[in-house]
C-alpha cells in the first residue's frame, strides 16, 4: 500500500531541506479517490495515517511572501511532470540539481545534538577570519536511481563550478548507469549559478557537458519561489543535514566524509568529492560564445525550458 502511495505522490511532493518536513497540495480525499480508481478501497482517514508514516505533515499558510504568485506556476509544474514521465518511460536519466547551503569550515558550533560522553569544544564566536574557508556543496540527485552526488567546492558558486559538478557526476556515475543514454533531463531552480537567465550556465553546459560527451541536455527550471518542490531539496539535502547536525565541520575532508556516509532505509546512497579548483567570479559570457550554444527553446514557457545539443 505504501509503495502505491509513494508512486502516486512522486510528482506531487515538496519538502524542506533543513527540517525534512514534506507536504503535498493533494487532499486526502483526492488521494483516496485516485487509489479507489485502481481498485484499492481506502478512506481519507487511512490515507492521512499513511501519509504521516511517510513523513508528510499538515501545514498552515504562513504570511511570509511579499511578491505576487507566478502566473505560470501550475503550467510549468504540469510540463515538468510530463517531461519526467517521458524520460522515465524511455529509461533516460533525470537529475535534480542545486547548491546546498554554504558551510563555514573550522572549529565552529554546528546546531544539533549527538550522542557523546562530553561536549565538543568549539570557538565561542563564529568569525569567518578564524575559519579555513567556505565549503560550497553542489548536489546532483539521480531521481530514478535514488543516488546523490555532491561536489564540495572551495571557492565560489559559479556557473563553471555548477556544470563542472554535473559533468563530474556524468563522467563517474551517469554514463556508467545509463550507458545507452543520449539525452539528459536536468531539473533546476530559477536562480543562482544555474539560473534560467544566466548566460554562462548555458555556455558551460555546451562546452563542459554536451560537446565532450555528445549528449543533449534538456533543462527545466522551477518557477521563482518554488525551489522546495525541486526533488533534491527533500530527497537529498534534508538527509545530508541530518548527518551533519551537532558535529563541528572542522575541515573540508570532514564535510566530504559526513556527506558521503549519508544513507537511508529507502536506499539512498551518496558520493562526495572535493573540488580544489578556484572559480573566478564576474566572468562575462560574450555574444560570440553565446552564438556557439546549440540551444533549442521549447514552445512551452521557452525561458524556463530548453534543450542544448552537441555541436560535434
Shared-domain flag, residues 37 and 88: no
* Whether pLDDT at 59 is above 70: no
Q: Is the Cβ–Cβ distance between 223 and 116 less than 8 Å?
A: no
Domain assignment present for 22: yes
Rounded distance between C-alpha atoms, residue 229 and residue 172, angstroms: 27
Domain assignment present for 116: yes
Per-residue model confidence (pLDDT) at position 158: 98
Shared-domain flag, residues 77 and 49: no
Rounded distance between C-alpha atoms, residue 91 and residue 105, angstroms: 39
Partners of residue 273 on adjacent β-strands: 151
Shared-domain flag, residues 11 and 83: no
Shared-domain flag, residues 122 and 262: yes
- Specify the residue for cell string 541530518: 242
Query: For the ranges 180-184, 240-244, 278-282, which has the lowest average pLDDT?
Result: 240-244
- Specify the residue for cell string 563550478: 161
Among 90, 123, 86, 130, which Cα is nearest to 108's? 123
Shared-domain flag, residues 185 and 298: yes
Domain assignment present for 58: no
* Whether pLDDT at 235 is above 50: yes
Q: Which residues of 29-67 are buried (b: 16+ CB within 10 A; e: fewer)?
A: eebbebbeeeeeebeeeebbebbeeeebeeeeeeeeeee
Shared-domain flag, residues 127 and 48: no
* Whether pLDDT at 191 is above 50: yes
Domain assignment present for 126: yes
Per-residue model confidence (pLDDT) at position 7: 63
Shared-domain flag, residues 33 and 103: no
Shared-domain flag, residues 152 and 201: yes
Domain assignment present for 229: yes
Query: For the ranges 52-61, 132-141, 182-191, 268-277, which has the lowest average pLDDT?
Result: 52-61
Domain assignment present for 94: yes
Q: What are 275-294's pLDDT values in tens digits?
A: 999 999 999 999 999 999 99
Number of compact structural domains in the chain: 2
Domain assignment present for 65: no
- Specify the residue for cell string 534560467: 196
Among 287, 286, 290, 285, which Cα is nearest to 311's? 290
Q: What are 89-124's pLDDT values in tens digits?
A: 999 999 999 999 999 888 766 765 555 556 566 666
Report the predicted TM-score, pTM, of the whole model to 2 decimal places.
Answer: 0.78
Which band of pLDDT confidence, cut at 50, 70 and 90, is reported for residue 63?
Answer: very low
Task: Give the structural domain span for 261.
Answer: 73-308
Q: What are 135-179's pLDDT values in tens digits?
A: 999 999 999 999 999 999 999 999 999 999 999 999 999 999 999
Domain assignment present for 61: no
Shared-domain flag, residues 248 and 100: yes
Amino acid at each position: 500500500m505504501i509503495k502505491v502511495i509513494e508512486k502516486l505522490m512522486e510528482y506531487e511532493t515538496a519538502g524542506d531541506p533543513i527540517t525534512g518536513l514534506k507536504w503535498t497540495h493533494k487532499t486526502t480525499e483526492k488521494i483516496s479517490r485516485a487509489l479507489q480508481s485502481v481498485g484499492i478501497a481506502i478512506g481519507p482517514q487511512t490515507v492521512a495515517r499513511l501519509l504521516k508514516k511517510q513523513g508528510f505533515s499538515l501545514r498552515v499558510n504562513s504570511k511570509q511572501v511579499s511578491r505576487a504568485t507566478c502566473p505560470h506556476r501550475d503550467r510549468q509544474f504540469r510540463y515538468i511532470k510530463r517531461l519526467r514521465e517521458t524520460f522515465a518511460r524511455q529509461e533516460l536519466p533525470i537529475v535534480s540539481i542545486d547548491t546546498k547551503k554554504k558551510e563555514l569550515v573550522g572549529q565552529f558550533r554546528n546546531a544539533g545534538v549527538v550522542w557523546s560522553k562530553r561536549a565538543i569544544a568549539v570557538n565561542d564566536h563564529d568569525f569567518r577570519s578564524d575559519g579555513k574557508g567556505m565549503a560550497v556543496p553542489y548536489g546532483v540527485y539521480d531521481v530514478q536511481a535514488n543516488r546523490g552526488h555532491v561536489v564540495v567546492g572551495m571557492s565560489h558558486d559559479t556557473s563553471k563550478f555548477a556544470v563542472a559538478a554535473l559533468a563530474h557526476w556524468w563522467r563517474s556515475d551517469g554514463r556508467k548507469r545509463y550507458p545507452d543514454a543520449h539525452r539528459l533531463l536536468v531539473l533546476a531552480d530559477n536562480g543562482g549559478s544555474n539560473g534560467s537567465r544566466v548566460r554562462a550556465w548555458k555556455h558551460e553546459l555546451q562546452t563542459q557537458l554536451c560537446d565532450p560527451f555528445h549528449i543533449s541536455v534538456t533543462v527545466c527550471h522551477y518557477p521563482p519561489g518554488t525551489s522546495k518542490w525541486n526533488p533534491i531539496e527533500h530527497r537529498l539535502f534534508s538527509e545530508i543535514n541530518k548527518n551533519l547536525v551537532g558535529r563541528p565541520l572542522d575541515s573540508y575532508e570532514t564535510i566530504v566524509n559526513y556527506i558521503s556516509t549519508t544513507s537511508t532505509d529507502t536506499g539512498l546512497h551518496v558520493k562526495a568529492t572535493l573540488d580544489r579548483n578556484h572559480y573566478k567570479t564576474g566572468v562575462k559570457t560574450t555574444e560570440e560564445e553565446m552564438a556557439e550554444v546549440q540551444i533549442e527553446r521549447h514552445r512551452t514557457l521557452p525561458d524556463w525550458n530548453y534543450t542544448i545539443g552537441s555541436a560535434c
